[in-house]
Amino acid sequence: MDLARTEVAEAAPGRRRGNAARLGLMAVPVAFFAVFFAYPVAAIVARGLEVDGAWRFGRIGDVLAQPDVRHVLWFTTWQALASTALTLLIALPAAYVFARLDFPGKQFLRAVVTVPFVLPTVVVGTAFLALVGRGGLLDELWGVRLDTTVWAILLAHVFFNYAVVVRTVGGLWSQLDPRQEEAARMLGASRLTAWRQVTLPALAPAVAAAALMVFLFTFTSFGVVQILGGPTFSTLEVEIYRQTSQVFDLSTAAVLTLVQFAAVAAVLAVHAWTVRRREAALRLVDASVTARRPRGAGQWALLGGVLVTVAGLVLLPLAVLVQRSLGAPGFGYYRALTREDGGAFLVPPVDAIGNSLQYAVAATAIAVVIGGLAATALTRRDAGRFVRGFDALLMLPLGVSAVTVGFGFLIALDEPPLDLRSSWILVPLAQALVGVPFVVRTMLPVLRAVDVRLREAAAVLGASPWRVWREVDLPMVRRALLVAAGFAFAVSLGEFGATVFIARPDNPTLPVAVARLLGRPGDMNYGQAMALSTILMVVCAVALVVLERLRTDRTGEF
């Protein structure tokens, strides 16, 4: 008993130093999010609800009572639910194929199905516009147009979120011990019964987590609905943009922002609960021993069905996008990108490529530093509620209106010492807010897998916390850090909702340039939009190929 008390007493100072170090690491990310996320969002909400120096909370009820607003809320919710259900229905068979079957070209196909997830939503909307819109492939072949229906939006959402289900559910499925299901079958259970009673309960947390993430992305959809929805369909995010930039009704925009914030916070809370269940309740095996070649007509048919789905859902829209970009003789649309038109652009549209790359590199550096510090602070699983709450807050930029953040930058960051409206750094700061959650989610599982005894041994030998990180953690997480940087680069490259407000006319990004071209009439503008979207798609695909080469089984779900 005395020996145990002695060990506890000796360990207590180490724990206190660890807690102090964790709080120190959290200080920079907390300050970053407070200044560049909470402050701009609060500023625009306050501006919208304040009248004659007093807050009018009754305005919330007035806005929500408007029929048009209720219609937007209803459409936002039901299209997100429909998109989530349709994505699960189409993607779950693919999750099984990637988890349990081994076939030639599997790694390449995994990269292919992940391409849509890293594509900017503007490119996704443009690709489906080329497929199902006026003058699109279906219109030319059969006279069928879906751009005036909700099906175009739903299919584009499935296209975008297909990889979320495949990666999240398939990643866990591949590590479930198949012998448990085989034991149930030996005891007399049918294949369906064994799957329903053994495998499905184990997969339920992953399915729930994937469904919640898909719902979150579709509930806050902006670029896809902005391009495909037209004047008929509008989500909360699109309506916030319309009220802010076109009607300039900040009061209504503020109320809609608060509604979206509350919905996103609830979804993230449920998502955090499902992730904790998944981490705590499962015993996993090496994924390399669970996959085998297809056996029987059923598995071959399932593999064939998944390949057909990938070809029709993923490859066809991208192929049509490329084909439309080559519609003018002699690469005419691409050559037109090098000319100034004196209209929507003060510079040749091709300059948007260099601008986007420069902004994305700066945003990646910021996201890696902030996200790396946050992931290190969250490494211990036994952290208190404050740290777990900080983990949930890091995900909020994925769901809170990017339009609100971008416009909030213009309103809040306009006075010294934070007068940044004319500074180039404003765009990378907004993009980094979206990249940080991906960095944290990629690095955190690897950091938690590092044996804590290695850190303790280094500390006992006199190493400082910085040296412990440099010589113990960094060698083990270097590859995950590169993957995190790749994801931050891809999502920064495609950020649109905030950038559309703060990108200067003489320094447009690729997504902003595509949106401006699509908003102008004429075949040449349409063709240039397709050409820029193709360039953006190629850059994102190259980044993804690099990610796949760096990826290990311990670099997170994506």
Looking at residue 88, its pLDDT comes to 94
Angle value at C-alpha 498, between 234 and 342, nearest 5 degrees: 95
Q: Helix, strand, or coil here: 50?
A: strand
Q: 325 near 530, Cβ under 8 Å? A: yes
Burial of residue 108 (CB within 10 Å: 0-12, 13-18, 19+) is: exposed
Looking at residue 280, its pLDDT comes to 46
User: Rounded mean pLDDT of 348-353?
Assistant: 86
Looking at residue 336, its pLDDT comes to 87
Looking at residue 292, its pLDDT comes to 76
Q: Is the pLDDT of residue 158 over 90?
A: yes
User: Rounded mean pLDDT of 147-153?
Assistant: 82
Burial of residue 233 (CB within 10 Å: 0-12, 13-18, 19+) is: buried
Looking at residue 449, its pLDDT comes to 66
User: Rounded mean pLDDT of 268-288?
Assistant: 57
User: Rounded mean pLDDT of 60-89?
Assistant: 90
pLDDT tens figures, 433-467 = 988 888 887 777 767 766 667 766 777 777 776 67
Q: Is the pLDDT of residue 363 over 90?
A: yes
Burial of residue 383 (CB within 10 Å: 0-12, 13-18, 19+) is: middle
More confident residue, 176 or 500: 500
User: Rounded mean pLDDT of 306-334?
Assistant: 88
Looking at residue 500, its pLDDT comes to 83
**How far is 423 from 259, CA to CA, in rounded Å?**
31
Q: 111 near 544, Cβ under 8 Å? A: yes
User: Rounded mean pLDDT of 214-234?
Assistant: 85
User: Rounded mean pLDDT of 527-545?
Assistant: 83
Q: Which of 330-339, 357-366, 376-385, 460-469 comes out lowest in average pLDDT?
A: 376-385
Mean pLDDT for the chain?
Answer: 78
User: Rounded mean pLDDT of 176-181?
Assistant: 70
If you count them, how many residues does the chain have?
Answer: 558
Looking at residue 428, its pLDDT comes to 94
User: Rounded mean pLDDT of 204-232?
Assistant: 84
Q: Helix, strand, or coil here: 55?
A: strand
b (16+ CB within 10 A) / e for 510-528: bbbbbbbbbeeeeeebbbb
Q: 510 near 535, Cβ under 8 Å? A: yes
Looking at residue 555, its pLDDT comes to 44
Residue 341: band (very low, low, confident or very high) from pLDDT cuts 50, 70, 90:
low
User: Rounded mean pLDDT of 336-358?
Assistant: 79
Identify which of 52-61, 78-87, 245-254, 503-512 has the greatest average pLDDT: 78-87
- Cα-based distances in Å from 144 to 86, 149, 172, 225, 413: 21, 11, 39, 19, 47
Residue 11: band (very low, low, confident or very high) from pLDDT cuts 50, 70, 90:
very low
User: Rounded mean pLDDT of 293-319?
Assistant: 88
Q: Is the pLDDT of residue 95 over 50?
A: yes
- Cα-based distances in Å from 515 to 383, 392, 512: 44, 32, 5
More confident residue, 404 or 274: 404
Looking at residue 75, its pLDDT comes to 93
409 Cβ contact partners less than 8 Å away, ≥ 6 residues apart: 36, 40, 420, 421, 426, 429, 430, 498, 501, 502
Amino acid at 205: P
Looking at residue 450, its pLDDT comes to 66
More confident residue, 201 or 156: 156
User: Rounded mean pLDDT of 131-150?
Assistant: 78
Looking at residue 382, its pLDDT comes to 53
User: Rounded mean pLDDT of 58-76?
Assistant: 84
pLDDT tens figures, 523-533 = 888 888 889 88
Looking at residue 553, its pLDDT comes to 46
Nearest to 404 by CA among 207, 218, 256: 256
User: Rounded mean pLDDT of 12-33?
Assistant: 68
Looking at residue 165, its pLDDT comes to 87
Looking at residue 84, its pLDDT comes to 95
Residue 358: band (very low, low, confident or very high) from pLDDT cuts 50, 70, 90:
very high
Burial of residue 413 (CB within 10 Å: 0-12, 13-18, 19+) is: buried
Q: Is the pLDDT of residue 61 over 70?
A: yes
Residue 132: band (very low, low, confident or very high) from pLDDT cuts 50, 70, 90:
confident
**How far is 517 from 507, CA to CA, in rounded Å?**
15
pTM, rounded to two decimals: 0.78
Q: Is the peptide bond before 417 cis (omega within 30 degrees of 0)?
A: yes
Looking at residue 4, its pLDDT comes to 44
The residues with which 101 forms a beta bridge, in sequence order, are 292
**How far is 182 from 101, CA to CA, in rounded Å?**
16
Q: Which of 233-247, 308-322, 355-369, 539-553 comes out lowest in average pLDDT?
A: 539-553
Q: 203 near 169, Cβ under 8 Å? A: yes
Q: Is the pLDDT of residue 8 over 50?
A: no
Please state whether 188 falls in left (phi above 0), alpha (psi between -120 and 50) or beta: left
Structure tokens at 237: 């995010």
Residue 491: band (very low, low, confident or very high) from pLDDT cuts 50, 70, 90:
confident
Looking at residue 552, its pLDDT comes to 45
Looking at residue 78, its pLDDT comes to 94
DSSP string for 93-146: HHHHHHHHB--TTHHHHHHHHHHHHHS-HHHHHHHHHHHHSTTSHHHHHH----
